[in-house]
Structure 1
């Protein structure tokens, strides 16, 4: 993780967060109950919006992002513990969490399939998996543009892939999707699902 990227992340995301993303995060996190695991918690943008969880364990591989998140822990009403780990190798027992949350993170995970298998492993059977992600678009022209831009985008945005088909990955691994909402065409998706 580039230290400068971590430092400037919130600044560059602020216009989107103020307009739409804040409302989406609040709605998504209102469904996070019990023992919650957040994958790729980044700068902690979700932390102030947890209201219904018992506790939140936030996993983040970047030390720089973790440092940025500590001030936001104080804004939360829920106990939050941040653990440095990758989504592909979660240091938790099988079936430990009631809810898994991932927001704008699957685009940067080096091995998203392994991360989904780990997510399923640590989530209780019947537990909730809640995501807000940007994904590969259905429009052929826009999708091909995403494919073309991804190698360059990954370099400037610390590994972010514009062309991930996260919904298909979830379905392929037996996660039952119960609700999908699309934003900005179908560039961003809100997903509620259940671990089977």
Structure 2
């Protein structure tokens, strides 16, 4: 990830976070308990919302993003351990985590199928697997616009795919989807799933 993108990420996201995204993040993560894996923690936008976790193990492969998250680690209500790792290669034993959370990450991971299989491996059977992701919409005009913009957007936003069919990927990789909440004209989905092993 480029240092420039990581430096402008929080300022760009701040209006969205204040308008609604922060509330969505809080609903997704605040009640989760036990040892939690956060995949692609970025600048630590979720850290302040964890209230009941025993511990959060947050992986982030980009050193600039990790460095920006240090103040949020210090201010978190629960212990947060930052780990330099990618979603495709999680350095943890099988059945380690009680919950996994990913917010705005599967759009950027080069091999999301591999990452989802790794999440499945390291989480306990039946564990909640929670995502907040933007996805390709099924409306013809907007979907085609996402397809058209994606090559440019990937270069601008360090590999982010506007048109990834993330919900399909989640279902295809062994997770039972229990709830889907749609936001911003169905572009953003909050997905509550379970690890089916």
Contact 2:136 2:143 in 1 (8 A): yes
State the Cα distance separating 1:30 from its structure 2 match: 2.1
TM score, norm. by length of structure 2? 0.98
Distance across 1 between alignment mates of 2:120 and 2:41? 18
How far apart are the structure 2 equivalents of 1:8 and 1:169? 29
**Corresponding residue for residue 120 of structure 1:** 120
Equivalent pairs, count: 196
Q: 4+ residue runs of structure 1 moved beyond 6 angstroms? A: none
Cα distance in structure 2, aligned partners of 1:192 and 1:124 = 15
Q: CA deviation at 1:32?
A: 2.0
Distance 1:24 1:101 in 2: 13
**Structure 2: gaps (5+ residues):** none
Q: Is the Cα contact below 8 Å between 1:128 and 1:192 reproduced in 2?
A: yes
CA apart distance, 1:143: 0.9
How far apart in 2 are the matches of 1:89 and 1:65? 18
Match of 1:143 in 2: 143
Task: Give me the whole-angstrom Cα distance separating, in 1, the residues matched to 2:168 and 2:32.
Answer: 22
- Deviation string 1:118-162 (CA, Å, 9 cap, x unpaired) is 010001001010110000101021111111110000000111100
RMSD, matched Cα? 0.7
Q: What TM-score do you get using the length of structure 1 for normalisation?
A: 0.98
Task: Give 2:82's aligned residue.
Answer: 82
CA drift at 1:175: 0.5
- 1:148, 1:136 → 2: CA distance? 12
Q: 5+ unaligned residues in a row in structure 1: which ranges?
A: none
